Chain A
């Protein structure tokens, strides 16, 4: 026993799971870790912050009008004398909600669709993926706009509309992963042992497709938030009295010459959030995908 053990070099990996391995690699990526911490801070601020604010979201102080940041109003006030701090934080909550929920919608559709196509294979698969190809060649921003006006201005429908156009890439990724895994020998082995289809899918295929899905999900969140902000900027997204970072930036851009803080603060929050989400996504990709991790 001891002789055999001493023959094995000490540097060999000692039975760590892929998840632990990826986590260890991610922890070494300082930039991604810092971005992760910043993200958590922004989340806490947006979801819990408004509870501790002295000012109400819609409380106007018409005499005050627009004032630059001060001790009373950390982020200043807008033209209607509303406290900008609480507006930026609750606007962030709306933006993050859209980002998470629309991503969840796209995740559900994309994974279900892609997994079905990949697992069934053959003709079903080619027809299903052809359909995705066709959808890809649609001017999707046009359809998001049409969907948002057609189904009224409910926030939930906004999530659905964005999720409904963002699932295509997810479906492709999942399908490619499932297809590659379904042909692997260990799946053949599982099948020959008489395991049921659902057991094969959940015990053997899902864990192996999880990596790319996690990475792409992380990268979908900023893409979706960008889309929501663009819609709000066009006046098609979140409607007053609610505000999102997109609509705040829209209002800020109109008066940037006279009241620059109305543009700078929400734009900074929005960009920092996107920045962090992208870096965490990149970090995850490097941590999970062994092939590109070599660079």
Chain B
């Protein structure tokens, strides 16, 4: 299958007063048509920055894209001018965000915001756009859409707002949807509804989805391919089935151990010891070393960044001898 987007060696740094923070360090991944690709990691692992920088949504300065490419269609997104990027955003690539309570403009009618991409990118007149807006609201399961168009965001519940965000993102029928933790801020019951809606629309419209989350359970449910990020780097990448069956990197395994549902009842919850490292003072070698159990720590690379290695077909892992379970081939 052909790739919708292919990201290679993306590197993003933030130049702050306290030094250079390398938020994304040489990340590569691809998304194929109709696929759902997960990017998983703790907060601060660089998963959101990765996606924001694809669309030029990080503030520059302090942010700076220092290298890499992101081929989308026949263009490199990272080399597009702001003007050309505007034509891609909301038209061929759309995004939805974590907090639906703050992601909609409280001063504008929901309808006005909803049809804005249509008016901008397809040049529809007001009446035609509005009509399509009503259809879009109905499509995401909002009852009485014609009335709802005229209301303001504060008249919607959190789940309903996230539905509006989804309708708004998909109203131009983009090829790619980037979903940045779209369920994290929602109630558990609403989470499932929103996930089902995204799955359902994706199947019907045949779009590709990049799903950013820290929740492995969600990944398990929705993703075809999973990329695990730690400290701005990719530590493991594999098909979802493969990853959950044979997690190889110590960090991936630790993440899985900390899913409550997969733990035995009555045992204390497992948590990964320590904190993610300070990205402005990353060690030269393996970034996970400080959180490894002591007897594996000694095996971790300390002098150079561990390279990504394909250890099985389509299963890549960061080749740090201390972190890869079952040892490295060679």
Contact = CB atoms under 8 A, between A and B. Distances in A.
Contacts of A10: 278, 281
19 contacts: A3-B294, A6-B290, A7-B273, A7-B274, A7-B275, A7-B290, A7-B291, A8-B274, A8-B275, A9-B275, A9-B277, A9-B278, A9-B281, A10-B278, A10-B281, A11-B18, A11-B278, A11-B280, A11-B281
B218 to A, nearest CB: 28
Contacts of A7: 273-275, 290-291
Contacts of B290: 6-7
Interface in B267-295: 273-275, 277-278, 280-281, 290-291, 294
Tell me what chain B mostly uses at the interface: helix, strand, loop, or mixed: loop
Contacts of B291: 7
A3 B278 CA distance: 17
Contacts of B274: 7-8
Query: Top 7 closest A-B pairs, CB basis?
Result: A9-B278, A7-B274, A7-B290, A11-B278, A9-B277, A9-B275, A8-B275
B272 to A, nearest CB: 11
Contacts of B294: 3
Contacts of A9: 275, 277-278, 281
A25 to B, nearest CB: 11
A6 B274 CA distance: 9
Interface string B289-322: 0110010000000000000000000000000000
Interface string A239-261: 00000000000000000000000
B292 to A, nearest CB: 10
Interface string A1-23: 00100111111000000000000
Nearest to A8: B275
A169 to B, nearest CB: 26
A7 B281 CA distance: 13
Contacts of B278: 9-11
B283 to A, nearest CB: 11
Q: Which of A7, A9, A11 has the most CB of B within 10 A?
A: A9
A3 B291 CA distance: 10
Nearest to A7: B274
A104 to B, nearest CB: 37
Contacts of A8: 274-275
A7 B273 CA distance: 9
Contacts of A11: 18, 278, 280-281
A44 B275 CA distance: 51
A6 B275 CA distance: 11
A6 B18 CA distance: 20
A8 B273 CA distance: 11
Contacts of B280: 11
B288 to A, nearest CB: 11
A287 to B, nearest CB: 15
Nearest to A9: B278
B136 to A, nearest CB: 36
A11 B16 CA distance: 14
